[in-house]
């Protein structure tokens, strides 16, 4: 097993100049950091900035010091896109609104603008500028309710939440553009399976369970905790994403998940073991649109991207806990 924080060696030649949208976010900031570590120039676009958003500031802290990082604060649903993409070898389009449960609420228009409309605008500009490759962040949520067996990319899709509908629309929109005769851009849509690790979003379950243990407050559990997720460590997700930039393939949809699942009760057990503290649970009803299980068939990622995930749940949770404990310590000084 690799160190949870180490950078995997790239499987394919690296791009020279990359655009990362959503660079102030959880996965985007790790991706930008890894690309910079490999000597790639990164144009990091996000509508949040370090000046106005503390969580963006924490995500961007390591990037801002790097000479190869060019930060741009812009809203992709309204800004001019073409100047951002000039001379790019690849666009990693990770910007979007990610939560499953809030997508039922009044913010749905933001999901449509940021997940669908922004993708259309990026794809139009990429086509016009003949950017060779667009890698777009899709989601395991497009599969919806499954029987718990590993989902393959050719399985039927049955999105169970408005969020999942927008992610399916996003990937299919980009793939449809890629079939146009005038389009020189190939699209690789990566269906990420519940990504975790340092700087995970605060609404996500591993963060919430570890934070509850560290801060000694109750963890709200939606349902009975038997729901299972194919948890994917962020550096593993980043390794697949970097390979997707230059892998010698045509347009494709590829799962990014290891195919091993854990229940929330398992995550709680590991959190107790890692922190040496209790996790007090507060039960509330299962949320509508929450699927009982996600599980990836990772054969395509292995075959097309040479992807082999290397960090398991406990090792990755330990790395996430270390970051969280340090942040908690600084906040209480
Ligand atoms: P995140 O919220 O941490 O990052 C997304 C970033 O996109 C944010 O910084 C946000 O400000 C930015 N953004 C949103 N709309 C924008 C716009 N209109 N213009 C510019 N910037 C905009 O989310 P994340 O967990 O890092 O997820 C990244 C991507 O991966 C999302 O597209 C999400 O749907 C997808 N995804 C994430 C997971 C996961 O487990 N985290 C799993 C499957 C798919
Ligand atoms: C996650 C991401 O948030 C999505 O952006 C992503 O698209 C999706 O994974 C994916 O794999 O495609 P989700 O599975 O809802 O979505 O991940 P979490 O928010 O970490 O929730 C996991 C489970 O924990 C859910 O069943 C949720 O109901 C439960 N949960 C979450 C709780 O019981 N309590 C909480 O406080 C938070």
Residue to probe by mutation, ligand 1, list 96, 170, 195, 296, most atoms within 8 Å of CB: 96
Q: Which atom of ligand 1 is nearest to the CA of 140?
A: 43
Mean pLDDT value across residues 153-167? 98
**Would you say how long the chain is, in residues?**
333
pLDDT at 130: 98
Contacts of 107 by beta carbon, 8 Å cutoff, 6+ apart? 97
* CATH numbers and ranges of domains, the chain: 17-197+233-258+290-310 (3.40.50.720)
Alpha helices in the chain (DSSP H): 26-37, 54-64, 82-85, 108-111, 118-129, 162-178, 205-215, 234-246, 264-275, 299-305, 313-332
The predicted-structure confidence for 245-290, as pLDDT tens digits, reads as follows: 999 999 999 999 999 999 999 999 999 999 999 999 999 999 999 9
What residues line ligand 1, using a CB cutoff of 6 Å?
A: 22, 24-28, 46-48, 75-77, 94-98, 114, 118, 137, 139, 167, 192, 194-195, 201
Say yes or no to pLDDT of 138 above 80.
Answer: yes
Q: How far apart are the C-alpha atoms of 23 and 144, rounded to whole Å?
A: 27
Say yes or no to pLDDT of 158 above 50.
Answer: yes
What residues line ligand 2, using a CB cutoff of 6 Å?
A: 98-100, 139-141, 192-194, 203-205, 208, 220-222, 227, 229, 264, 287, 290, 294
DSSP assignment, residue 255? E
The predicted-structure confidence for 161-205, as pLDDT tens digits, reads as follows: 999 999 999 999 999 999 999 999 999 999 999 999 999 999 999
Residue to probe by mutation, ligand 2, list 222, 240, 279, 292, most atoms within 8 Å of CB: 222
Look-up: residue for tokens 């979007």?
96
Question: Where residue 211 falls among pLDDT bands split at 50, 70, 90?
Answer: very high
C-beta of residue 125 within 8 angstroms of C-beta of residue 85: yes
Dihedral sign of CA atoms 33, 38, 39, 45 in order:
negative
List 133's β-bridge partners, or say none: 90, 186
User: Ligand 2 centroid vs 100 CA: distance in angstroms?
Assistant: 7
User: Ligand 1 centroid vs 94 CA: distance in angstroms?
Assistant: 5
Q: Is 274 left (phi over 0), alpha (psi -120 to 50) or beta?
A: alpha
DSSP assignment, residue 286? P
Mean pLDDT value across residues 239-243? 97
pLDDT at 241: 98
Q: How far apart are the C-alpha atoms of 190 and 185, rounded to whole Å?
A: 16
Contacts of 131 by beta carbon, 8 Å cutoff, 6+ apart? 85, 88, 89, 90, 91, 125, 185
User: Ligand 1 centroid vs 177 CA: distance in angstroms?
Assistant: 22
Print burial letters for 304-330: b (CB count within 10 Å at least 16), e (below 16).
bbebebbbbbeebbebbbebbeeeeee
Nearest ligand, measured from the Cα of 25? 1
How buried is 256 (Cβ within 10 angstroms: 0-12 exposed, 13-18 middle, 19+ buried)?
buried
Arithmetic mean of pLDDT over the chain: 95
Looking at per-residue confidence, does 244 or 65 come out higher? Answer: 244
Q: Cβ–Cβ contacts within 10 Å for residue 66, how many? A: 16
ipTM exceeds 0.90: yes
User: Ligand 2 centroid vs 315 CA: distance in angstroms?
Assistant: 20
Q: Which atom of ligand 2 is nearest to the CA of 141?
A: 12
pLDDT at 326: 86
Dihedral sign of CA atoms 235, 241, 245, 248 in order:
positive
C-beta of residue 145 within 8 angstroms of C-beta of residue 286: no
- Catalytic pick from 163, 222, 233, 273? 163
DSSP assignment, residue 107? T
Question: Where residue 242 falls among pLDDT bands split at 50, 70, 90?
Answer: very high
The predicted-structure confidence for 2-35, as pLDDT tens digits, reads as follows: 335 456 678 898 999 999 999 999 999 999 999 9
User: Ligand 2 centroid vs 205 CA: distance in angstroms?
Assistant: 6
Residue to probe by mutation, ligand 2, list 192, 194, 213, 290, most atoms within 8 Å of CB: 194
Catalytic, 233? Answer no
Q: How far apart are the C-alpha atoms of 242 and 190, rounded to whole Å?
A: 11
Q: Cβ–Cβ contacts within 10 Å for residue 25, how many? A: 25
DSSP assignment, residue 13? P
pLDDT above 90 as % of the chain: 92
The predicted-structure confidence for 34-71, as pLDDT tens digits, reads as follows: 999 999 999 999 999 999 999 999 999 989 889 999 99
Nearest ligand, measured from the Cα of 281? 2
Phi, psi angles (nearest 5°) of residue 30: -65, -40
pLDDT at 3: 39
């Amino acid at each position: 097993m690799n160190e949870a924080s180490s950078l995997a060696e790239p499987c394919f030649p690296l791009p020279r100049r990359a655009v990362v949208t959503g660079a102030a976010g959880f996965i985007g900031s790790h991706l930008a950091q890894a690309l910079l570590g490999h000597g790639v120039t990164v144009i990091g676009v996000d509508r949040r900035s370090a000046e106005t958003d503390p969580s963006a500031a924490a995500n961007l802290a390591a990037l801002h010091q790097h000479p190869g990082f060019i930060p741009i604060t812009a809203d992709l649903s309204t800004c001019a896109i073409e100047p951002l993409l000039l001379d790019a070898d690849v666009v990693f389009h990770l910007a979007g609104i990610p939560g499953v449960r809030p997508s039922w609420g009044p913010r749905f228009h933001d999901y449509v603008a940021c997940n669908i409309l922004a993708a259309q605008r990026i794809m139009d500009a990429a086509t016009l500028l003949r950017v060779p490759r667009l890698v777009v962040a899709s989601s395991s949520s497009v599969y919806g309710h499954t029987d718990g067996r590993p989902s393959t990319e050719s399985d039927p899709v049955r999105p169970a939440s408005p969020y999942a509908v927008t992610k399916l629309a996003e990937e299919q929109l980009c793939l449809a553009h890629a079939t146009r005769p005038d389009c020189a851009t190939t699209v690789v849509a990566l269906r990420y399976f519940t990504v975790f690790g340092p700087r995970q979003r605060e609404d996500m379950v591993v963060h919430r369970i570890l934070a509850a243990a560290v801060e000694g407050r109750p963890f709200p559990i939606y349902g009975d905790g038997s729901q299972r997720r194919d948890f994917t460590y962020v550096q593993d997700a980043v390794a697949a994403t970097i390979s997707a930039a230059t892998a010698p393939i045509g347009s494709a949809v590829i799962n990014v998940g290891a195919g091993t699942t854990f229940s929330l009760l398992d995550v709680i057990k590991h959190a107790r073991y890692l922190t040496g503290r209790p996790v007090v649970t507060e039960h509330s009803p299962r949320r509508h649109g929450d699927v009982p299980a996600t599980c990836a068939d990772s054969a395509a990622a292995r075959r097309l991207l040479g992807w082999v995930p290397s960090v398991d749940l406990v090792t990755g949770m330990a790395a996430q806990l270390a970051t969280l404990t340090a942040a908690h310590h600084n906040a209480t000084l």
